Amino acid sequence: MQDVVILGGGVSGCIAAQLLASEGLESAIVEPLARPGGNHQSWDHDEMTFDVGSIFFRTGTPFLRMFPFLADICVPVKPALQRIVDDGGLLTYPFDFRGDFADRGALEKLMILGDITWNRLWQRRPGTAREFVHHRMGSRLGRTTGLLTYMERMFGEPADSLSISLADKRMGQVSRASTLRKIRKLIRQDPARRAKPPQHMVRPQAGFAAMYRQIYQHLESQGVRIDLDCAIESIRRSGDGFTIQTADGIQQARAVVNTMPLNILCNLADIPVARALPQVSLKTICCSFRGDRNFDGNVLYNFLSTGMWKRMTVHSDFYGKTPDGRAYMSVEFPYRSEIASDIALLEDLRSSTRSVGLFDGDLQMAGSHVTPYAYPVPTIANERTSAEMLEAITAFGICSVGRQGRYDYIPSANKAVNAVTRILNASMTRPEGTP
Ligand SMILES: Cc1cc2nc3c(=O)[nH]c(=O)nc-3n(C[C@H](O)[C@H](O)[C@H](O)COP(=O)(O)OP(=O)(O)OC[C@H]3O[C@@H](n4cnc5c(N)ncnc54)[C@H](O)[C@@H]3O)c2cc1C
């Protein structure tokens, strides 16, 4: 019997395997999907490479410290994050001190500052995402920056029902950048004294699979067994441990670490649930373009009040244009239950961007891909349901971690390292009999 079976070979599964190996525990990753990397996915169309979008790695951060050899194969880039707003303005993402504040008239600036101060002093303790944004940046900036519209488009829920924890994790970056203290700091700060930014990188041009193959090789060299494309049929308690029935046979382990979606885990382990947790799915359309795109950022966020798309990543800025000179980009469309056809999505992108003067030229689509479990839907009710599910899973004896495994919006691989480490340290006691 092995010490631990890890369900899922994405970011969190690899982190868990590394942590367990460094504790001298024997583990095996069982990944039901045929490709490595979980939701770190990429696809090729003709000479172009696309992915699930805007995934940057930075030197000195936990993920690269854990797997430092990735720095040799990833591509150094300079992220240029922009957001498009309703008057056609292109502003820095997440907050543009000049565009959102300094360039406004004196009266407007006073109203913004007064609004932030009033909300800080008199608004009751925030309970929802809308209240959080109002509390942090005032209702005026919350509206004019387009932040609330963006948040609602991303999760398909009114900001009044989104929980404050989501607002803090996903949108905290934006609202923190626009607090009174930050605005004051920016006014006073000498640009020459700002801290040197770390080196950003994107995945190798060969794709996420190439990157994960290196991670898997590294884990295997430490004794981790990895079974890809291995459908899991059931998980049962047996004696002091667990029996995992897979399409390839039976695996037995003293402990199980889960990183798969909670709905799927509860179904496999026969854990009763009150209701299934909803998900935000993502359709990514892979586009190419020739002409004047009229923005120079390599990531563009849709803060317009129109358009179903949420974010675009111009991969050709990282990997080079096609031999015949076309730029290419992934464009993400979040959805809850039904999504429009590819043609309708392309038309949505064309009309919303042309209305603000972008993409003057030939915009075409090369393909599309669906990510069914892209984000949790962080309403207050769903957080309560996921907490109940996690309680039942813990009582069953499984330690569940990661974005899917905790129904938690973990925005990056770095945050995943911290979250998985914290939970594994807190909840994994060494199985009896191990050194
Ligand atoms: C839209 C989007 C944007 C992202 N942006 C960033 C970014 O900017 N920076 C960054 O570092 N990372 C980014 N990520 C990746 C994100 O960080 C990782 O998904 C996150 O770290 C969680 O990894 P995880 O292993 O917990 O979960 P996941 O990789 O989401 O999944 C874990 C496991 O769940 C199982 N699973 C997932 N979906 C299914 C399914 N449909 N059916 C059956 N099993 C399934 C698989 O076994 C998988 O290995 C992004 C991901 C998405 C979807």
72 found inside a domain: no
Output the tens digit of pLDDT for each of the chain's 435 residues. 889 999 999 999 999 999 999 999 999 999 999 999 999 999 999 989 999 977 899 988 899 999 999 999 999 999 999 999 988 789 999 888 888 888 889 998 899 889 888 888 877 777 788 888 888 888 888 888 888 888 889 888 888 888 877 656 655 555 555 555 655 665 566 656 666 668 999 999 999 999 999 999 999 999 999 999 999 999 999 988 999 999 989 999 999 999 999 999 999 999 999 899 999 999 999 999 999 999 999 999 999 999 999 999 999 999 999 999 999 999 999 999 889 999 999 999 999 999 999 999 999 999 999 999 999 998 989 999 999 999 999 999 999 999 999 999 888 888 888 888 888 887 655 444 443
Distances (CA, A) of 354 to 25, 146, 320, 427: 56, 18, 24, 52
- The answer to whether 320 and 162 have CB atoms below 8 angstroms apart is no
This prediction's pTM: 0.89
90 found inside a domain: no
* Centre of ligand 1 from the C-alpha of residue 86, in Å: 31
Atom 23 of ligand 1, residue of closest alpha carbon: 11
Domain of 386, CATH number, reads 3.50.50.60
- Residue 42's φ and ψ, nearest 5 degrees, are -145, 160
Beta bridge partners of 376: 279
Distance CA(98)–CA(401), nearest Å, equals: 40
- Retrieve residue 156's tokens: 């398909």
249 found inside a domain: yes
Residues 272 and 407 in one domain: yes
* Centre of ligand 1 from the C-alpha of residue 369, in Å: 14
- Retrieve residue 190's tokens: 């000498």
What range does the domain containing 115 cover?
96-193
Pick the atom of ligand 1 nearest to 415's CA.
21
The candidate with the shortest Cα–Cα distance to 123, out of 137, 110, 113, is: 137
Distance CA(114)–CA(43), nearest Å, equals: 48
- The answer to whether 338 and 70 have CB atoms below 8 angstroms apart is no
Residues 311 and 230 in one domain: no
Please choose from 39, 219, 284, 417 the residue to mutate so as to test ligand 1's pocket, defined by most ligand atoms within 8 A of CB.
39
* Centre of ligand 1 from the C-alpha of residue 309, in Å: 20
| 280 in contact with ligand 1, CB cutoff 6 A | no
| 307 in contact with ligand 1, CB cutoff 6 A | no
Residues 215 and 256 in one domain: yes
Domain termination residue (choose one: 337, 352, 376):
376
The candidate with the shortest Cα–Cα distance to 232, out of 272, 212, 260, is: 260
Query: What is the 8-class DSSP label of residue 51?
Result: E
Residue 433: the pLDDT is 43
* Centre of ligand 1 from the C-alpha of residue 156, in Å: 19
Query: What is the 8-class DSSP label of residue 342?
Result: H
- The answer to whether 210 and 216 have CB atoms below 8 angstroms apart is no
Domain of 307, CATH number, reads 3.90.660.20
Query: What is the 8-class DSSP label of residue 93?
Result: S
| 40 in contact with ligand 1, CB cutoff 6 A | yes
89 found inside a domain: no
- Residue 264's φ and ψ, nearest 5 degrees, are -70, -45
84 found inside a domain: no
Atom 45 of ligand 1, residue of closest alpha carbon: 260
Residue 191: the pLDDT is 59
Domain termination residue (choose one: 152, 171, 193):
193
290 found inside a domain: yes
Distances (CA, A) of 88 to 45, 190, 360, 399: 31, 30, 14, 48
Residues 270 and 401 in one domain: yes
Other CB atoms within 10 A of residue 305 CB: 12
- Work out how many domains the chain is built from and give that number: 3
Pick the atom of ligand 1 nearest to 402's CA.
26
Please choose from 61, 227, 404 the residue to mutate so as to test ligand 1's pocket, defined by most ligand atoms within 8 A of CB.
404
Residues 124 and 138 in one domain: yes
Residues 386 and 241 in one domain: yes
Pick the atom of ligand 1 nearest to 13's CA.
25
Residues 369 and 382 in one domain: no
* Centre of ligand 1 from the C-alpha of residue 402, in Å: 8
| 403 in contact with ligand 1, CB cutoff 6 A | yes
Residues 178 and 105 in one domain: yes
Residues 372 and 390 in one domain: no
* Centre of ligand 1 from the C-alpha of residue 31, in Å: 13
61 found inside a domain: no
Domain termination residue (choose one: 376, 395, 410):
376
**Which residues are within 8 A (CB) of 246 and not within 5 positions of it... i.e. 6 or more apart?**
30, 227, 230, 231, 232, 233
| 74 in contact with ligand 1, CB cutoff 6 A | no
Residues 304 and 354 in one domain: yes
Residues 410 and 367 in one domain: no
| 410 in contact with ligand 1, CB cutoff 6 A | yes
- The answer to whether 38 and 13 have CB atoms below 8 angstroms apart is yes
50 found inside a domain: no
Positions of E strands within 98-211: 200-202
Atom 44 of ligand 1, residue of closest alpha carbon: 260
Residues 117 and 149 in one domain: yes
51-90 pLDDT, tens digit per residue, is: 997 789 998 889 999 999 999 999 999 999 999 998 878 9
Pick the atom of ligand 1 nearest to 15's CA.
25
